[in-house]
Chain A
């Protein structure tokens, strides 16, 4: 189940435009001391004395004493330390959850819950997609690296001004990425079709892919418009306004997202609708409606999501959950899980996490592109795509840790609301049965791609809840 549409996390990724396929796009999570290095380039002071003041050589007899950092530089270091401290405190506060502190789900053996055939089949299915993902990311980095070096040549294809040319370079870069990733996307789609996970034809898939590219072009143009317009007057300090501006946009898009959905319907099953109201009331979010999104035409994969902010909050079920493959009890677990996201404020929380990553990410982007004129110069745009993509990939594990924490909390909330661990276990086993999700994926895959706890971990949590209730 997804938490919202990941708008907050998506926005900065759209600036890079090249988030990992098959998963929500995420933002950046790297901090550093770029201002120091920036200063070091223009300052006669030796760099090591600034970056590592604690290891600078001690003055020796007969030699001139080492120069001390200037007061301004010390103030900068202090400011950086302060910001890091604030970052850590906010992250610590966000990390806090309602999960019991002594929660230790048991280590389960997947073979006790799934047949050997199911395990073999899901491993085979996931292995292909994982390999496809790794190859596509390698190609992606390679292409963006070449584009970072040579992309500025496309400036001659523009008659636009500074910002317009930057937009064009951004779009051309993402167009190239789309082209070189097309075979990998096609392979993944073929594989999903072959395993009956998606039902679309290739024409529809290509049209959808082009539609997605069009949306990406629009977003990257918009993002570059903001960044380059700010970088004009603010130069290297555009991120001070740009980072919060993207957070504000994330809030806006999260708020309007439910209203942009086309064809949403109400729950037709009166018993399930009544149970949904009961579950919402139990979690203190009885004002949140449940709607159904028709997706059966395109996919058989079951899914649901919590989306929106304040009055726009919704729980959206895909109609693939309601086609009889899952019992009403299992669907109620899904509903309780999504209500749990809303009840625990996970969407505002995820936007706060986004802010924690986006603002330093914008700062790093400004630093990384300073060498080629900064984001006010269109020549920096190809490099910025590479930087954002690399940072994004580097930040994936950290983002997944946060995401899994939120999902675990929602799972626990669902168990408390439904008091039906059997249904929860049935639901999670159904994911593997219906979508070939690997119950216990390899560690690297779990770290890099696991935005949710693994199926076996979720079953273990249900077992733990059952054990505690029996105590």
Chain B
């Protein structure tokens, strides 16, 4: 898959197959690359200073410097993809284009605004914050640090067990890591003057292949307009909702246990409990969308279907496997951990969006879609945990395909 027209594009040709042996020793196998990356990064510091002055004077980054910096970004992406199990083969040390299943296409140097070059270090701060939240210290920032952080480190840790057990990387996790690497590469490409195009956080632009339909679907009908006054007081306006949500959560927890027992006995969630818990999960999504600025209007208190621009569609009760139901909490544990770490990213999204929406009266498209993806994953996780569906949440930030375009062989 490849996506977008950004000068730095992620290209993923990985087949999800993993060698168990190399997975087991993955961290140790990466050590030589850490060493080489550190050496290369020393050169990058000097190249970056030279590129900055050159771009200020010439209005573009000289081609040799551009290639040097682009190669570094590509190589660090290869190394990160290897470390985080987004790809299987041991990467080369030169960062050649087209040499790795998780790769970058980087355009030739173009003209750059001198103003934006001058203030590049300042302008990149929001993107860096988001990069650290999503990708932590992977990518070019990994030089000198053998431990990744952020959501992807967490995902890779979980994926390590899955890949060891199955010999395959779960596609959702692979896509999430790939997204993080792609965004990270665009951020560092911007910082390193490889391009003056701001990084695009839209998951659909970075990871564009679809997923099969899921019983829990997020619909987005938001027009990206934001009321500045309600943005200013967004968190405070949500206070009555927080109180109501807390009360509802207490009841929903009890209802969730009842639903679990009933589904275990009957093999299907009872309609009344299903309806109640569905409304709860939908209300939760509305509330989080409002607080995270993913949606604009003040949400209702009942989780009514179709009442909010960021809405949730949940299918009715269906037969569920009793074994999967019986071990639901255990099985859902990794998804809950990922959802929790993604929700920390939602906080960063909300903070960045708060400033952007206050300044422009609009929500940046990429941030909105990233937030929507997080809400989707979180809703699917809660629906799974509350035994509303037995379908495991999709970790991939890819858009979910409409039912008429189901790919033949796609792994969830």
Contacts and interface: CB of A to CB of B under 8 A. Distances in A.
Given A154-B227, A154-B230, A160 B236 contact: no
Nearest to B229: A172
Contact of A159 (B236, B237, B299): B299
Contact of A164 (B230, B239, B295, B298): B298
A175 interface: yes
Interface residues of A, number: 25
Given A161-B302, A175-B232, A218 B297 contact: no
B301 A164 contact: yes
Contacts of A161: 300-302
Interface in B132-179: none
Given A171-B237, A214-B236, A217-B236, A160 B296 contact: no
A212 to B, nearest CB: 11
A159 B240 contact: no
B28 interface: no
Interface in A155-192: 156-161, 163-165, 167-168, 171-172, 175-176, 179
B210 to A, nearest CB: 28
Contacts of A218: 239-240, 243
Given A172-B230, A175-B232, A160 B300 contact: yes
Of the listed residues B229, B243, B295, B307, the one surrounded by the most CB atoms of chain A closer than 10 A to its CB is B229
A221 interface: yes
Interface string B233-246: 10011011001000
B240 A165 contact: no
Interface in A219-244: 221-222, 225
Contacts of A154: 227, 229-230
A158 B240 contact: no
A303 to B, nearest CB: 28
B298 A165 contact: yes
A168 B236 CA distance: 10
B218 to A, nearest CB: 16
Given A159-B307, A168-B298, A175 B240 contact: no
A60 to B, nearest CB: 59
Interface in B291-313: 295-302, 307-309
Contacts of B233: 171-172, 175, 217
Nearest to A176: B229
A165 B297 CA distance: 10
A138 to B, nearest CB: 22
Given A172-B233, A179-B232, A157 B240 contact: no
B300 A214 contact: no
A179 B229 CA distance: 10
A222 B239 CA distance: 11
A160 B237 contact: no
Interface in B258-307: 286, 295-302, 307
Contacts of B232: 175, 179
Contacts of B229: 154, 172, 175-176
Contacts of B243: 218
Contacts of A179: 232
User: Chain B binding site: helix, strand, loop or mixed by DSSP?
Assistant: loop
Contacts of B298: 157-160, 164-165, 167-168
B164 to A, nearest CB: 46
Of the listed residues B227, B239, B302, the one surrounded by the most CB atoms of chain A closer than 10 A to its CB is B239
A168 B48 CA distance: 50
Interface residues on B, range: 20 to 34
Interface string A180-213: 0000000000000000000000000000001001
Given A172-B229, A176-B229, A213 B296 contact: no
Nearest to A220: B240
A251 to B, nearest CB: 22
Contact of A217 (B237, B296, B300): B237
Nearest to B226: A157
A214 to B, nearest CB: 5
A158 B302 contact: no
Contacts of B227: 154, 157
A157 B300 contact: no
Contact of B237 (A156, A163, A172, A225): A172
Interface string B202-235: 0000000000000000000000000101101100
Contacts of B286: 159
B297 A159 contact: yes
B236 A171 contact: yes
Interface string A94-124: 0000000000000000000000000000000
A160 B309 contact: no
Given A157-B230, A157-B297, A161-B302, A217 B239 contact: yes
B236 A175 contact: yes
B293 to A, nearest CB: 13
Nearest to A210: B236
Contacts of A213: 236
Contacts of A217: 233, 236-237, 239-240
A175 B236 CA distance: 9
Contacts of A160: 297-301, 307
Contacts of A225: 240
Contacts of A222: 240
A222 B307 CA distance: 22
A394 to B, nearest CB: 28
Of the listed residues B243, B296, B300, B307, the one surrounded by the most CB atoms of chain A closer than 10 A to its CB is B300
A168 B229 CA distance: 11
Contacts of B239: 214, 217-218, 221
A31 B193 CA distance: 71
A213 B235 CA distance: 11
A146 B301 CA distance: 28
B236 A158 contact: no
A172 B238 CA distance: 11
Contacts of B295: 159
Contacts of B297: 156-160
A442 to B, nearest CB: 37
A157 B290 CA distance: 11
A233 to B, nearest CB: 18
A164 B298 CA distance: 8
A159 B229 CA distance: 16
Nearest to B232: A175
B292 to A, nearest CB: 15
A428 to B, nearest CB: 40
Interface in A116-158: 154, 156-158
Given A159-B309, A161-B301, A167 B240 contact: yes
Given A157-B296, A157-B297, A164-B300, A221 B240 contact: yes
A156 B229 CA distance: 13
A221 B227 CA distance: 20
Contacts of A159: 286, 295, 297-300, 307-309
27 contacts: A157-B227, A157-B296, A157-B297, A157-B298, A159-B286, A159-B307, A160-B299, A160-B300, A161-B301, A163-B301, A164-B298, A167-B298, A168-B230, A168-B237, A168-B298, A171-B233, A171-B236, A171-B240, A172-B229, A172-B237, A175-B233, A175-B237, A179-B232, A213-B236, A217-B239, A218-B240, A221-B240
The 10 A-B residue pairs with the shortest CB-CB distance, nearest first, are A221-B240, A159-B297, A160-B300, A168-B298, A158-B298, A175-B233, A157-B227, A159-B308, A217-B236, A217-B239
Interface of B: 227, 229-230, 232-233, 236-237, 239-240, 243, 286, 295-302, 307-309
Given A158-B298, A159-B297, A159-B307, 14 more contacts: A157-B296, A159-B286, A159-B308, A159-B309, A161-B301, A161-B302, A164-B298, A171-B237, A175-B233, A175-B236, A179-B232, A217-B239, A217-B240, A225-B240
